[in-house]
Chains A and B, each alone.
Chain A
Amino acid sequence: MIPEALFERSLNHLLRQSPGATEALRRHAGSSVRFDLTLAQFDCRIADDGCFSEAVVDIPDAVIRPTPALLARLPFFGRDAWRFAEYSGDPALLATLDRVFKQLNWDVEADLAPLVGDIAAHRLHTMGRGALAGIAHTASALGHNASEYLVEEAELMARGVDVARFNHEVDLLADGVARLDARLRLLEALRPLQEAQARTV
């Protein structure tokens, strides 16, 4: 009961914050959508005002199923990660949902403002954004350092250029082997003919 209500409220809140989102969904009022999150399923119907309303649905018009690829990318790529979700059902409805979800944007500052005031909300939001950017930068720097250590110092991993050179050499070797194989097959095929010629002579 709690997850469904939270999901419904959060989604509708985001829809109302994104200009044009409810207007786009209003064209599909009455259609049902299932969000299949593997561990839980949320069945909704698009209401006349373009918001989602929890509903009893037997066969949904569209099913959205997040994949592991989406979940892995969501924290880092945000809205862009939604293209890794699996969509099935009515193509027109899915096209609208895809467009709407890609433009969803959480206006954190607007939600904080009634609680702490405009100025504090702006500062908190800026601070939070800065902190997130700092975390992303740190993660990227750590990743870069780790890869440099593994490749250059510990030599546990090969550099990209070495891998490419090795692959090229393997390709050359494979080509040489294929040529030799073809030559041997040709010689094998010619041998009975040469033996017959030798007996005739």
Chain B
Amino acid sequence: MDKTTHFGYKQVAESEKAAKVAEVFHSVAAQYDVMNDLMSAGLHRLWKRFAVAQAGLRPGMKVLDVAGGTADLTRLFLKEVGETGTVLLTDINFSMLREGRDRMLNEGKTPPTVQCDGERLPFPDNYFDCVSVAFGLRNMTHKDQALAEMNRVLKPGGRLLVLEFSKVWKPLEPAYDLYSFKLLPLMGKLVANDAGSYQYLAESIRMHPGQEELKAMMETAGFAKVSFHNLTAGVVALHKGFKV
């Protein structure tokens, strides 16, 4: 029998999760940026800028943006690596990737764009100076395998940045739960006409490993000097690790 995994609070067969996640993102792609701004009150822009500031990028470096979707991080990375550097925008979901690619084209930039699975990256070993995954690891079926793949494609000394929802500061939990399970689906229904996807968002955040668990997972995947920084009282955490 097929192994099961979580899809929000539901248990589904591992083989079905990717398709279900794909459905969610096909559904929200067009309104993704508007909803991000609305749900986080614009804070997601600061979180992403903070992540890029931790990347230690310099002109000429090669960066892989896994699950890059609408290219928020890619745009910021491009500014750091300059014309001599490369930023590869990837996502498993074509609808999201198309939004990101079109947005970049509209800005007159043409970074290489690849539709691929974060758990099976089609890139050579020891190739990138930096790999990032922002709000994407949560949706992957085999997170350990994805982290191992990111480790493989990084150059020795390269760094991985994982920006992801995490465990919020305990005293804020009741308010955060109220916001996530009541307001978020309502906003999703009113703005994107899709309450279900935003219900999944809230549930998938609760099922995602907390700060310490993710740190341990990164260390198991071979990263060293792993550290994390809580943003907005732990609503989001940025994990950083180095390939040795």
Contact = CB atoms under 8 A, between A and B. Distances in A.
Q: Which of B56, B60, B225, B227 has the most CB of A within 10 A?
A: B56
A5 B54 contact: yes
B60 A1 contact: no
Nearest to B157: A55
Contacts of A5: 53-54, 56
Interface stretch (B13-21, B92-100, B138-146, B236-244): B236-244
A33 to B, nearest CB: 14
A34 interface: no
B229 interface: yes
B58 A55 contact: no
B86 to A, nearest CB: 15
A166 B180 CA distance: 81
Interface string A12-29: 100000000000000000
B222 to A, nearest CB: 12
Given A9-B53, A45-B157, A56 B225 contact: yes
B32 interface: no
Nearest to A57: B225
Contacts, number: 34
Q: Give the interface size class of chain A.
A: 10 to 19
B22 interface: no
A2 B225 CA distance: 14
B173 to A, nearest CB: 24
B157 to A, nearest CB: 5
B224 A56 contact: yes
Contact of B228 (A1, A54, A55): A1
A55 B157 CA distance: 6
A5 B60 CA distance: 19
Interface in A79-98: none
Interface string B38-78: 00000000000000011010111000000000000000000
Contact of A49 (B60, B225, B242, B244): B60
B54 A1 contact: yes
A56 B244 contact: yes
Given A9-B53, A49-B60, A2 B229 contact: yes
A1 B56 contact: no
A47 interface: yes
A8 B56 contact: yes
Q: Which of B157, B224, B225, B227 has the most CB of A within 10 A?
A: B157
Q: Which of A5, A54, A56 has the most CB of B within 10 A?
A: A56
A63 interface: no
B157 A49 contact: no
Contacts of A55: 157, 242
A12 B58 contact: yes
Interface string A53-82: 111100000000000000000000000000
Interface of A: 1-2, 5, 8-9, 12, 45, 47, 49, 51, 53-56
27 contacts: A1-B54, A1-B227, A1-B229, A1-B240, A2-B54, A2-B229, A5-B53, A5-B54, A5-B56, A8-B56, A9-B53, A45-B157, A47-B58, A49-B58, A49-B59, A49-B60, A51-B58, A53-B56, A53-B58, A54-B56, A54-B159, A55-B242, A56-B157, A56-B224, A56-B225, A56-B242, A56-B244
Interface of B: 53-54, 56, 58-60, 157, 159, 224-225, 227-229, 238, 240, 242, 244
